[in-house]
Amino acid sequence: MASRAHRLVRRLSSAASSYDALVIGGGPVGTEIARLGGLIGLDVAVVDPRGALLAAPTGYVSKVLLDVSNCAERNSRVVPREWTHAKYALDATAVRALAMTADLFQDSSVGADVVAGRTEFAPTVIQGRAAFKGRDASGSYEVQVHGAAPTVVHAPTVFIATGSASTRLPSLPFDEANATGWIFDSDSIVGIGRVPEHIFIQGGGLIAVEYAFIFERLGAKVTLALREERVLQGKDVDIDISAAVGARLEERGVEIRYGDGNVVKVTPPAEHGGVGSVELGSGTVVEAGAFLSALGRGGAAKGLNVENAGLRPPLPSGHLAVDYNSLVAESTGGDCRVFVAGDTVKDCAIYPGGLLSTGLAQGHVAVRGAFPEAWRATFPPVGRRVEGSKMDAFPAVAFWIDDGVATVGVTEQAARMAHGDDIGTASAKYSETVKACVQPRPDDEFLKIVYLKTSGSILGVHIFGKDASEMINHGAAFVNRGQTIWDVIHSIPPAVTYDEVFLRAARRACYSMAQFSGERA
């Protein structure tokens, strides 16, 4: 590895052609990998088409729109619900996201040594699109960067974090001239530029549901058509959370067509800005001013020429197959030092895929696995995750759907498959908390604990409601440390917070466990 001083000099002089590690993709996962690599003393380069870190709009666009739609709804009497506000907010967020990267690489948490180095451990960012060329005589990977200044980069270790791209059904008329500006996928929807009177959304996953809330709040009539019998089924969300989210959508006036997600005929509008129609498998015809097809996302590994690096070609979905635990890319033979993390991964021990929290956890595992000694030398034992602990297996997952859905561990349905009648569940509503007396919450918001009745061990925590994405971190600690419902009772303060739902649910679990052991005795 190059010394710190050496690296700094090189960085200040010009872009080098060889690095300790190369990260392909500067989204949130690639950026995190680069940050960790820098912290453990590696000379890292990141290649990204935008020539900047965190510049890809993948994740934040819908979150900004959700926020804008909430504001628009609150202020609808004063401000018309127009797309212009969304545009301003998106631009402002893009600027803030870029500014954030400077702070990321000034992390002072690791100790005086690193603080002294400061921005020295920031990566070199190379603008362009990367593709593997092969391996050089020393075994380093040769990667061609197609950008404003084409270059070839050499690195003995490569991390692929190229993210995802929306899936387009070939049967839909994305390429027809009169469908332009009417039909969208989960990437192009950000360019809609208007709030249609009626939008038809195909799909029942995270993105379809999120946009159903967004457009409904912006004032559009929304029809959501999905093949499944419940929303969010694909992300393996707990059955009660799915039901609550579906019910909330319907209560807000979204028309949900369960089990009717097959589109058999599409007629785009005759003229730009007009109304087109969508015929569903049931024979129902929906007329709408816009059509969003949100049918999942594939990995963005095509075009990387991974075969030149001795890797197996991307799967038809565009994902890369990896070793389940180490995230090393599957190769056709020989040693392999290519790791994959984030949305590009197909299946691995850290799931569900296609989400930011799991992607970041995968990034940690990949860096730690690629450079175990440097990792151990940098992070003091006390701060290290215990090897083999469940901590990596169950990162908390947060979907920013409406007020928030967050989940960690296993769902009730999965737990019952494994443990049958030994599974207990206990729930508590936000509206039961003291805080809700002052700041009321809708009656459908709740927390649910899935636990083993025989031991009280907590297997899963699922939340639908305000601040779910923050509160779930308590749940992650309980699940990953193998804690019980008594630990919840002893560690959650009953102060004036919505966290009180943990306490209330845990007390209910205790009560029903007492009954359970009584019945067994």
Binding site for ligand FAD (CB under 6 A): 24-30, 47-49, 56, 58-59, 62, 129-130, 161-164, 186, 206-207, 210, 300, 303-304, 342-343, 354-357, 359, 398-400
Cβ at position 353, least distance to ligand FAD in Å = 8
Nearer to ligand FAD, 398 or 459 (CB): 398
Nearer to ligand FAD, 320 or 356 (CB): 356
Smallest distance, ligand FAD to C-beta of residue 26, A: 5
Residues 475, 463 contacting (CB under 8 angstroms): yes
CB nearer to ligand FAD: give 167 or 483: 167
Radius of gyration of the chain (CA): 24
Cα separations (Å) of 482 from 110, 364, 378, 495? 28, 21, 27, 25
CB of 409 to ligand FAD, least distance (A): 16
Is the distance from CB of 131 to CB of 146 less than 8 angstroms?
Answer: yes
DSSP per-residue letters across 352-409: SSSSHHHHHHHHHHHHHHHSHHHHHHHS-GGGSPPTT-GGGT---EEE-STT-EEEEE
Torsion angles phi and psi, residue 134, rounded to 5: 160, -150
Whether 466 and 389 have beta carbons less than 8 Å apart is answered as: no
**Number of CB atoms found within 10 A of residue 437's CB:** 10
CB of 119 to ligand FAD, least distance (A): 21
Q: Which is nearer to ligand FAD, 30 or 310 (CB)?
A: 30
Tell how strand 44-48 and strand 21-24 pair up: parallel
**CB-facing half-sphere around the CA of 403: CA atoms within 13 A:** 19
Q: What backbone torsions phi and psi does residue 47 show, to the nearest 5 degrees?
A: -105, 130
H/E/C letters for each residue in 184-233? ECCCHHHHCCCCCCEEEEECCCHHHHHHHHHHHHCCCEEEEECCCCCCCH
CB of 67 or CB of 432, closer to ligand FAD: 67
CB of 245 to ligand FAD, least distance (A): 13
- CB-nearer residue toward ligand FAD: 143 or 172: 143
Provide, rounded to whole angstroms, the least separation between the CB of residue 487 and ligand FAD: 26
Residues 6 or more apart in contact with residue 176 via CB below 8 angstroms: 268
Minimum Å gap between C-beta 490 and ligand FAD is: 30
Minimum CB distance to ligand FAD, residue 475 (Å): 15
Measured from the CB atom, the residue of 45 and 256 that comes closer to ligand FAD is 45
If the CB atoms of residues 164 and 480 are measured against ligand FAD, the closer one turns out to be: 164
**Nearest residue to 401 (alpha-carbon basis) of 242, 517, 291:** 242
DSSP labels, 27-57: SHHHHHHHHHHHHTT--EEEEETTSSTT---
Is residue 23 a contact partner of residue 161, using CB atoms and an 8 Å limit? yes
Nearer to ligand FAD, 47 or 263 (CB): 47
**Residue with the two structure tokens 């819908």:** 62
- Identify which of residues 319 and 453 has a Cβ nearer to ligand FAD in the complex: 319
Alpha carbon distance 409, 102 (integer Å):
34
Q: 134, 309 in Cβ contact below 8 A?
A: yes
Shortest spacing between CB 378 and ligand FAD, in angstroms: 23
Q: Do the Cβ atoms of 30 and 24 come closer than 8 Å?
A: yes
| CB of 282 vs ligand FAD, minimal distance in Å | 27
162 or 242: whose CB is closer to ligand FAD? Answer: 162
Write down the least CB distance from residue 38 to ligand FAD, Å.
17
